Structure 1
Amino acid sequence: MKKTGKGTFVPRAISAVVLTMAALHASSAAARDDGHSHGHDREGNGTVRHVLLISFDGLHEQDVARCVASNACPNLALLAKSGATYTNAYTPGLSDSFPGLAALVTGGSPKTTGLFYDVSYDRTLYAPSDTNCTGKQGWNVVFDETAGIDAENGGALVHLDGGGAFNPQAIPHAKIDGVCKPVYPHDYLKTNTVFEVVRQGLPNVPTAWADKHAWGYDWLNGPSGAGVDDLARTEINSIDPKTNTNYTDVYTHTETFDDLHVQGLINQIDGKNSTGDKSPGVPAIFGADFQTLSVAQKATVASGGGYLDASFTPGPQVSAAIAYIDASLGRIVNELKQRGLYRSTAIIVTSKHGQSPTDHTKLVKNGDTLTKLLEANDYLDPAGKFGQNATASGNLNDGTGLVGTGFVQTDDVGLVWLRDQNQLEQVVRTLKDNLSCNAPGICADGPMAYLLYGRRVGAVFGDPKEGRTPDIVVQPNPGVIYTSSTAKDEEHGGNAPDDSHLALVVYVPGARQAGRTVDDRVLTTQVAPTILRLLGLDPQRLSSVARERTRSLPGFEEDGF
């Protein structure tokens, strides 16, 4: 592969694309070729009319380098050979699925998106049952698999679509301009998305996405609530009637779930919607999340999951999962070629997050020592009665969780919302006195561990006094997972190197970038403005891009809008 520095490839090809996109997309649907109305686009000559974004969750840059070199991912290798590979792409500070995907589709970090985790806390919100907003404030927000109505009153997740509606017990309230209103996931997001910008700028062309939770990912619609025309309602934690288990029990079962997303993308390439029962035309922007690799990475090393060494040598499950996602990519690209769309579709392959630790010798699972330390010192309820840890029924998201209690969210990072923000200095002192891995220590005594609080957390993530930002972010030593569970040997969510260093391969038809490797350090937030540039739209229409001054990826930074 050829190597290049910042901004040195695709000069004339991309400039031509950028300067002509707006005019091309401004024409009426009748004036466009059949690709937008019936799904049969003629081969173009470098004109980008569609952008396909794929997140293979857990895919590290090192995974791509290894599998390309060993010919273990021939389809991804072909895409890289025709495009650009970014070897130093990172998430913006946190690597859970919510902030990871938000970075890709908003151009923003948690500081402007307000998304820290799918389970978080907001001091300004009222309980779902408090429809008049007259009670206490401070709600533990949970927008995961229990956001679908199947989970109401602790019900079983028996439907693939989560039951077909929101679980009302999962929807908190906020007082806005003196009126008490429900806060759906799209209301919870503090910024707009590429889907909204595309819908506004290209009103005759659909948008689409598919993810792992049917209702929690409603935030992709953005504050308008209508950014994604075809948001697939697929729930990975729903019960598969064929096995009576959900789709995460073993990676081969997850393949069954991910196949739904492959078929949905194929349907959309054919001009249909994800379920194949309507024909709105090929989306301008579309894509999907895939979970098979993530499940294989998390599986215990003893069972064949994870990696064999610090060099990212895949274990049996990860090796098979990489083969699966590569074959899936091949099916999708082949359909683009069959339908004459390959030379008018930009393809971005990346990941919301990595997985940590890939080096099994670094794994430390001493239990949730961070939460225990906070409870033991009465910074949170000593009996664990805070947030939705203390619902009346014991079922998560049944609307009976405690209000105004503070909260802590842990896996390989710790996010702490204090019950009493006036105790910040005291809490920090306690944490600093217990940084070691010896009980009751929190395993944050290494050179890559840190505590963020006060001005530092405000600079990176926003002011905790505004309600959403954690008071303290604890990044433990790489390899630490705050759990004693025997089911997983890897996790994500934090800012350890294995969490944050991701794969990023970008193919743009007509661009003179074939086989290039870009070594500049980039953030995944830079994907969103790049998508809009490719479609001839102004990246500054994304509020997070404007506020955080997010630049397009190197090679896509030309002005002229």
Structure 2
Amino acid sequence: MKTIRRWMWMPRAIGAGVVLVGLHSQGVAARDGHDREHQHDAVKHVLLISFDGLHEQDVARCINSNACPNLALLAKAGTTYTNAHTPGLSDSFPGLAALVTGGSPKSAGLFYDVSYDRTLYAPSDTNCTGKQGWNVVLDETAGIDAENGGALTHLNGGGAFNPQAIPHALINGVCQSVYPHNYVQTNTIFEVVKQSVTGARTAWADKHAWGYDWLNGPSGAGVDDLSRTEINSIDPATNTAYTDRYSHTEAFDNFHVQSLIDEIDGKDSTGQSTASVPTVFGANFQTLSVAQKAPVATGGGYLDASFTPGPQVSAAIAYLDGALGRIVSELKQQNLYSSTAIIVTAKHGQSPTDHSKLVKNGDTLTKLLETNNYLDPNGNFGQANTKSGNLNDGTGLVGTGFVQTDDVGLIWLHDPRQLSAVVKTLKDNLGCNAPGICADGREAYILYGPQLAAKFGDPARGRTPDIVVQPNPGVIYTSSTSKDEEHGGNAPDDSHLGLVVYTPRAHRAGQLVDERVLTTQVAPTILRMLGLAPELLHSVALEGTRTLPGFEREHF
């Protein structure tokens, strides 16, 4: 492959008036039509695939070793971005939001699948008259199977929302339910494509059946075919969830492979009904993520700091490459390969790949906050305190503040006036010895105040955490023996992702681009591929997100 050191950016003038007023103006509409006129219908469909956990180093290694021949063929025919990163947080929600909204958590408002919002009322508070401040949980318990702490017995999460997971907001004096699609603060590529392309159809498949309803965007109708598959449901064949081992996760990911094949064949994701081939569609895959998290002692993770895969990761990459081959083969079989752009990337990476850096001292961050009375010392805050002991049973406490930890710490204070005291306590306990939070290295930081507001938005508005703690790379705030890697933060292994983009009739096939890019640039690039104005995405306009290098102009 020929390495392209740097593409020439083509600056795009977007004044404040355009951002605030011109999103739906005649000017944008006219340029939209101009773009489509000059696109020559080269791209009629865009397929977005997220292999969660896929690092750039995984892509380079597997291509060079011939371990992923199908991905290698796409790279040979397309462009590989070797310096792609997530926009600051690497949980599944902000990671996917970057890809489909073009925005960071600052505009999309998604910080984690389990987070907090000071403006919301409890699900049981249907009149919005009680306390405010709700711990929002949009994971497997968002499906009705989890109502009252029930077992997750159905692949589709029970076929409806868990009403105990739906908080309320007071909007223009009216108390309204806040579903996941109401929770996201910006529109998505699915909405834009449906609104801008005549006869367009959209589809997506992900790991949680109901929490990912936010992909529909604020309209609630962006995704025509949102496959309802729940990875934490009980597989009747094994009586366990699909995450117990990577080889079992393959069975779950196969549902998504089959959904994509059915959609390529002109059916819906179930294969039961006739439907047009989606204009924008895709799926998430979890096999690699599960293999990476598995303890090194059992064959999970990586063997060294050079990303040499262990047995489970090797097998997971081989599986995913085979799945990619099946999908591409079906596109060719249906004569769609020459009109379909394919993007392979990830929501997030996984950390630490170098097992020698792993530190698991328990959740010292939460314990430190509790010990100093910044949170209830007995853990009675948010959804950590429910009558059934299960999340989203509707009995969590209101107005308590919250802390979310994995290999990052997000802190929503019960009393924002304590900010200075909390920051001092954290800075006084940076070491790795108890009660320290293991954030004393050069890549660790505590983000708060104006710097945090500039990057993630003002906490006073209710959604943004008051403090973000990035511990030393390799630290996971847990004592669990079931995982040796995690994600969510901004450690290098979390944020540096694989990104391969194939377009039909590409003029720059087989090239490497080493310019630093963000995964937020994928969303406006998808619109550009379809001849649509990237600024139709609100986050793109607000954050000034550019298309990927090589896609700045109308012809590519």
What is the TM-score with the length of structure 2 in the denominator? 0.95
Q: What is the 5 A alignment of 1:362-441? A: 362-441=357-436
Inter-partner Cα distance in structure 2 for 1:70 and 1:456: 43
Q: 2:242 aligns with which of 241, 247, 255?
A: 247
Q: Please tell me whether residue 109 in structure 1 is matched to residue 104 in structure 2.
A: yes
Aligned AA (2:405): T
Asked if 1:205 is matched to 2:168, the reply is no
Q: Secondary structure at the match of 2:67?
A: coil
What is the number of equivalent residue pairs in this alignment?
A: 535
Q: Is the 8 A contact 1:21 1:48 kept in 2?
A: no
Pair 1:463 & 2:455 matched: no
Mark the runs of 5 or more structure 2 residues left unpaired by the alignment. 11-31
CA distance in 2, matches of 1:336, 1:233: 23
Deviation (angstroms), 1:558: 1.7
**C-alpha separation between the residues in 1 aligned to 2:124 and 2:113?**
20
- The separation in 2 between residues aligned to 1:478 and 1:205, in whole angstroms, is 43
* Secondary structure at 2:447 match in 1: strand
In the TM superposition, residue 6 of structure 1 has moved relative to its aligned partner by 3.5
Deviation track 1:38-91 (CA, whole Å, cap 9, x = no partner) reads xxxxxxx87100000000000000000000000000000000000000000000
The within-5 A match list for 1:264-303 is 264-303=259-298
**Hey, what's the Cα distance between the residues in 2 that align with 1:212 and 1:500?**
20
Deviations, residues 464-492 of structure 1 (Å, cap 9, x unaligned): 00000000000000000000000000000
* C-alpha contact 1:128 1:169 (8 A) present in aligned 2: yes
Distance in 1 between residues matched to 2:289 and 2:202, nearest whole Å: 26
Residues 149-187 of structure 1, C-alpha deviation per residue, up to 9 Å, x if partnerless?
000000000000000000000000000000000000000
Q: 1:308-360: CA deviations, max 9, x gaps?
A: 00000000000000000000000000000010000100000000000000000
Indicate conservation of the 8 Å contact 2:84/2:519, yes or no.
yes
1:266-325: CA deviation from partner (whole Å, max 9, x where unpaired): 001111111011222110000000000000000000000000000000000000000000
CA shift at 1:22, angstroms?
2.2
The code of the aligned residue for 2:245 comes to V
Secondary structure of residue in 1 paired with 2:319: helix
CA distance in 1, matches of 2:198, 2:33: 19
Does the 8 Å contact 2:7/2:515 carry over to 1?
no
Structure 2 residue 257 is the aligned partner of structure 1 residue 223:
no
TM-score by length of 1: 0.94
Q: Which residue pairs with 1:178 in the alignment?
A: 173
Residue 544 of structure 2 corresponds to residue 530 of structure 1: no
Give the structure 2 partner of residue 93 of structure 1.
Answer: 88
Structure 1 counterpart of 2:112, one-letter code = Y
Contact 2:305 / 2:354 at 8 angstroms: preserved in 1? yes
1:111 CA drift (Å): 0.2
In structure 2, the partner of 1:4 is 4
Which residue number corresponds to residue 324 of structure 1?
319
Alignment pair present for 1:308 and 2:303: yes
2:531–2:554 CA contact under 8 A, matched in 1 = no
- Contact persistence 2:338–2:504 (CA under 8 A): yes
Secondary structure of 1:558's counterpart equals coil
1:4 is matched by which residue type in structure 2? I
| Conserved 8 A contact 2:117-2:135 | yes
Q: In structure 1, the residue corresponding to 2:90 is in which secondary structure?
A: coil
Name 2:544's counterpart in structure 1: 549
Following superposition, the deviation at residue 510 of structure 1 comes to 1.0
- Measured in 1, the distance between the counterparts of 2:446 and 2:496 equals 20
Q: 2:50 aligns with which of 55, 67, 72?
A: 55
1:176 and 1:280 mapped to 2: Cα distance?
A: 37
Shift of 1:21: 5.7
Indicate yes or no: 2:162 matched with 1:148. Answer: no
Q: Which amino acid aligns with 1:433?
A: D
Aligned partners of 1:271 and 1:540: how far apart in 2? 30
Q: Residue type matched to 2:439 in 1?
A: A
RMSD of aligned alpha carbons? 1.6
- Aligned with 1:346: secondary structure? strand
Structure-1 separation of matches of 2:410 and 2:269: 36
Secondary structure, counterpart of 2:53 in structure 1:
coil
Measured at CA, do residues 199 and 535 of structure 1 come closer, stay the same or move farther in structure 2, by a change above 3 Å? Answer: same
Contact 1:191 1:223 in 2 (8 A): yes
Give the Cα–Cα distance (whole angstroms) in 1 for the partners of residues 271 and 459 of structure 2.
45
Provide the rounded CA distance (Å) in 2 between the counterparts of 1:131 and 1:405.
19
Gaps of 5+ in 1: 11-17, 26-44
